[in-house]
Amino acid sequence: MGPTSAPDAPSWVGTDASERFPIYTRGNAGEVYPEVFTPLSFSIASQAGERAMRSALLTSGLVRPEELEPIPLTTAVGSGVFGGYAYLNLSINRMISARMPGGSAEDADTNFLGVGDPPPHVPIEGEKNRKASIAGLRYVWKLLNTTELPELAFDQQRVDNYLAALPPLHASDTELRESTDSSFIDMFEELFETHLRISFAAGISIAVLSGMCDKQFDNPGLAVQLLAGLGDVDSAAPSAAMWTLSRSATAEPRVAAHFDAGIPGLLARLEAEPTAAPWLDDFRVFVEDFGSRGPNEWDTAFDTWETEPELALTLIDRMRGTDDSHDPRAQGARLQAERKQLEEETIAKLGRLSKGMFVKALRAAQLYSQSRERTKTTVVKAIHGARLRVKEMDRRFAERGHAERGDIWFCVEEELDAFVEDPTSFREVIAERRAVHARLAERIPPFFFEGEQPPLEEWELRSAELPSVSVGESITGLPGCLGVARGRARVVTDPADPRGLAPGEILVAPLTDPSWTPLFVAAEGVVVDVGAIMSHAVIVSRELGIPCAVSVTNATRRIPDGALIEVDGSTGTVTVIDLGE
């Protein structure tokens, strides 16, 4: 068994590292869990997530059961938590890529990391496995012949039934506590497994399509264009709804005036404004549909658009000053038309023998790309049902004077019964855990590590400054969405505080999840520190037609806020024109 994390990290924020699969990365994992885990969230997700990951890995046949069976669940083979932060196991994904017919270990780096400087790949014992490769070939053929995924509707219905059966928020403490018990953990595991299976299938089908585009047209980037403007992508859907709300807010003078007065206290002012009633009705429908979304939405400790409506109102406000050319519905219609024309032109260039296989790969990549976002939404909705109950318990204990707000998340799941019975008995242990959590949050976890995470004191402080880029300098990442945009950089590290992102400006962000999506609509272009072909920023920018560059290392720390920059989404290059005032 390997080490548990940074040597000074406690057990509630760390899993064991694998000796056989020793390389871990924040790539991709950082989009789902960008912040330090709270003890409660870690205890709910840790082993359930590992079981789901292993089951999903075995589905393809590229990993054999006998390779995983001897490894205890406390060891992070698929994903894990080290020093409080979520990581993916890069080693096993490299092995899977190496076993793919025609694949290589480096393909995993492209899919999960984009660019960067990961530890070099050293083939592990048994990396080449004939049975696994044959199974992988069958798996790919199955993917390419898949035209529908009925399990998505089944999971959605299951979550709807779960939410309907949850105790109301006025229920007793004991009844509310049951919202995070073993039945929820079991459901989370199964929903997460579906999400992972679909995510793996999306990655493989996109890789197959990219390979065909490279072979047939000497243009692997063509695959990205053929996946633009798909429509019905869940992570982009809230933007269209917010856009409508932003337009109607501007059209009603009294509503617009209240927005102009500032976001703090806005909801209360609107509720006291008779002419705002129709707008508020529409906003409540929005919250009912999308209230589970928000920053770090996979962790019940964090607010969403329902629990903190000002998060959504802030984003709507950023859209109000944006002209109609940014309408996500119009952009989507344009992109769909362009993609369909490109499809027709591309397919027409193929011979009869290659055409059928290309179309299969294209349709599979499109299906799984859309479905990946749908499965993510389903998991998030289930988590949100538990979040509302935990937050209600947290509010009650604080109101009674038995605990501080947020204390409940510093218990692990198996302590919850005792905490509900007597919150005061946990004050000392919670204080210790809060202190450790704060120290972890002050630093940036290493993007990669091999074997053992470096000691905490070696992690870079978030407050540390890096040398600024100079005029004329370019930083290159990966293309996210084609197009060129020029504007002032608006460096945003928290979607709840977009720092006055104005029309014509370029959003520069550390990473993005669906809570960032509405800011894409308001921006002229997007630059993201990390990301790869399957990252949220790429998927959403393709749907909204926003020029985007991802994996632009340390862009948020090197590009000054207000600098004039140009983003070339076709090359992933960001060029500094001037540094601003």
Please list the pLDDT of the chain residue by residue as tens digits (581 residues): 344 455 455 666 678 899 999 999 988 888 888 889 999 998 888 889 999 999 999 999 999 999 999 999 889 998 889 999 999 999 999 999 899 877 788 877 876 666 567 888 889 888 999 999 999 999 999 999 999 999 999 999 999 999 999 999 999 999 999 888 888 999 999 999 999 999 999 988 988 898 899 899 998 778 888 988 888 888 788 999 999 999 999 999 999 999 999 999 999 999 999 999 999 999 999 999 999 999 889 999 999 999 999 999 999 999 998 888 889 888 888 889 999 999 999 999 999 889 999 999 999 999 999 999 899 999 999 999 999 999 999 999 999 999 999 999 999 988 999 999 999 999 999 999 999 999 999 999 998 999 989 999 999 998 888 889 999 999 988 888 888 999 999 999 888 888 778 888 999 998 887 788 888 888 999 999 887 777 778 888 888 888 999 889 899 999 999 999 999 998 889 999 998 76
Q: What's at 59, amino acid-wise?
A: T
β-pairing, 85-89 vs 79-82, is antiparallel
Query: d(Cα 271, Cα 256) in Å, to the nearest integer?
Result: 14
Q: Which two tokens stand for residue 354?
A: 């290659």
What residues contact 215, with CB distance under 8 A and at least 6 apart?
Answer: none
Question: Alpha carbon of 519 to those of 177, 328, 437: distances in Å?
Answer: 35, 12, 29
Q: Which two tokens stand for residue 70?
A: 């001897």
What's the burial of 5, exposed, middle or buried (CB within 10 Å: 0-12/13-18/19+)?
buried
DSSP letter at 373 equals H
- Which residue has tokens 């632009």? 552
DSSP letter at 23 equals E
Which pTM value belongs to this model?
0.91
pLDDT in tens, 244-261: 999 999 999 999 999 999
Q: Which helix (H) or strand (E) holds 381?
A: helix 352-399
Do 524 and 508 form a contact (C-beta atoms < 8 A)? no
Domains in the chain and their CATH numbers? 1-144+422-464 (no CATH), 158-177+193-396 (no CATH), 474-578 (3.50.30.10)
Question: Alpha carbon of 131 to those of 60, 108, 127, 128, 138: distances in Å?
Answer: 12, 20, 11, 9, 11
Query: d(Cα 229, Cα 482) in Å, to the nearest integer?
Result: 12
Question: Per residue in 305-340, is it b (16+ CB within 10 Å) or e — as a string?
Answer: bbbebbbbbbbbbbbbebeeebbbeebbeebeeebe
- Which residue has tokens 């959003």? 507
By three-state DSSP, how is residue 228 classified?
coil
Query: d(Cα 545, Cα 339) in Å, to the nearest integer?
Result: 11
* Helix pair 39-59, 182-217: axis angle to 10 deg: 50
Other Cβ atoms less than 10 A from the Cβ of 164: the count is 8
Q: Which two tokens stand for residue 368?
A: 């799984």
What's the burial of 259, exposed, middle or buried (CB within 10 Å: 0-12/13-18/19+)?
buried
pLDDT at 147: 94
pLDDT in tens, 472-524: 999 988 888 888 999 999 999 888 888 778 888 999 998 887 788 888 888 99
Do 579 and 559 form a contact (C-beta atoms < 8 A)? no
Do 87 and 81 form a contact (C-beta atoms < 8 A)? yes
